[in-house]
Amino acid sequence: MPGVAVKLYSLFFKFMLKHRLQNRIQIDDTSSNVHSFGVTSRRNEESVAPSNPLFTDGVATKDLHVNPGTVVSVRIFLPESCLSVHEESDQKWQMQSTGNVLGSDSNQAPLRRNSYGNHKNNGYSHRRTSPGCVADDVYRGYSPVVKKNCRKLPVMLQFHGGGFVSGSNDSTANDLFCRRIAKLCDVIVLAVGYRLAPEDRYPASFEDGLNVLNWLAKQANLAECSKSVGIRRGGGTDLKKSDSFGHIADAFGASLVEPWLAAHADPSRCVLLGVSCGGNIADYVARKAVESGKLLDPVKVVAQVLMYPFFIGSVPTHSEIRLANSYFYDKALCTLAWKLFLPEGEFDLDHPAANPLTPGRGPPLKRMPPTLTVIAEHDWMRDRAIAYSEELRKVNVDAPVLEYKDAVHEFATLDMLLKTPQAQACAEDIAIWVKKYISLRGHEFSY
């Protein structure tokens, strides 16, 4: 059974969540759609972790808006392992460019890191970045040098939880979880900040997830376009080309290329990871990716991870009856969240967004990517997630289920539970399974 601290925190959490959901129902009834731009976070309800473009703890982060028409954003989590290939090559390159040989000058060590700002001693204490960075007087974060030997890492799109009505991609809990996943899986994590309900109801958040996947494909194509015309941005020296090439590159949006993704992302190895209601979004995005086929090239979704997905249905399962009043998110609160999320007049627990086994929901299940499902022992949503995995296995899709004893809903992603043995074991198990599909060396069973 969960500990006393978890039980007490669960009672407080459910009390506050019920109060917030009731307030949102009242606000939604008394106001017309005043948030036309969208809402992706509620700053007065949760703590926020600022982005940090330095590898202070092994992961650098930055925030980006992907759609100028909405508030949809992503937080990029770039693990420091992406720099490992540079260390030896950067040292050799710098020695060749300066004409120095290791050991030829005892007073000058080979440079392996670049300092910020000017190299003159003007009283400013220069901070250092990681290998491959360039000097800059303003931007204090990692800036990759565009070279052919940049280490490419798989990309993981992560969708946070919160019942579609709360949570954010930059919350403290989600930031800690994504950092852990980025380091263990050795991937670039893109945490998606989608629009929340009731300001933006279904299908807003689902479309936001798909738009971010399309944005990733656009970024990959723009990066290739900028390479083809010989333009290097974000670090290094611009190659001298004719003005016509520059105009062509700008016309295709080369100036919008995200340097971290251009240098280190391998979109052909893309994984979707959804937490709670984010699992519903991830499954929708996976279905749309299957339908799109080669239209998403070079992006290829090779696997997805559904962590205690937010599935429900009109016919209750055994766990929905036995654990209806379980920890953190009980069934009554989740039903209220679905009423706030689904369009008015369309509330149905068998809605395609809610029930994964609703007929005519999308492409045949046999075309779905490998799907890992994570469930908790004391979570009322567990049985429906198991049933979905069973349907996938019936059509020969690799769809294992990992169940964690004495665990509750959101056990691996709530900040107060991140240090529990189950949370650490869950992240490591996800890394083991994901590496089967993203490793260039085949199956990897070590972390």
Angle, CA 400 vertex, CA 394 and CA 406 arms, to 5°? 130
Taking the C-alpha atoms of residue 287 and residue 11, their distance in angstroms, rounded to an integer, is 36
Q: Judge contact between 182 and 79, C-beta under 8 A.
A: yes
> Which residue reads 């611009």 in tokens?
238
Measured CA angle at 315 (ends 311, 320), to 5 deg: 60
Write down the catalytic residue from 208, 264, 409, 429. 409
Across-strand partners of 74?
64, 192
For residues 236 and 386, what is the distance between their CA atoms, to the nearest angstrom?
A: 51
Evaluate whether 265 touches 224 at the Cβ level (below 8 Å): no
Question: Which residue has 């979004």 as its token pair?
Answer: 281
* Active-site residue, from 166, 276, 326, 389: 276
Catalytic residue flag (residue 348) = no
DSSP 3-state of 82:
helix
Q: Where are the alpha helices (DSSP H) in 191-301?
A: 204-228, 243-251, 259-264, 277-292
Distance of CA 93 to the CA centre of its chain: 34
Q: For 282-294, b where at least 16 C-beta lie within 10 A, e where not — what string?
A: bbbbbbbbbebee
| Selection from 412, 353, 356, 363 nearest residue 389 by Cα | 356
- Cα–Cα distance, 74 to 57 (Å, whole number): 20
What's the CA gap between 416 and 148, in Å, rounded? Answer: 42
* Helix then strand then coil, % of the chain, to nearest 5: 40, 15, 45
Return all residues near 80 (Cβ < 8 A) that are at least 6 apart: 55, 58, 59, 60, 130
Query: 367 is written with which tokens?
Result: 């075309």
379 is catalytic: yes
Alpha-carbon distance of 395 to 11, in angstroms, equals 41
Q: Which of 170, 379, 383, 429 is catalytic?
A: 379
Burial 377-398, CB ≥16 within 10 A → b, else e = bbbbbbbbbbebbeebeeeebe
Q: Is 105 a catalytic residue?
A: no
Which residues are known to be catalytic? 276, 379, 409
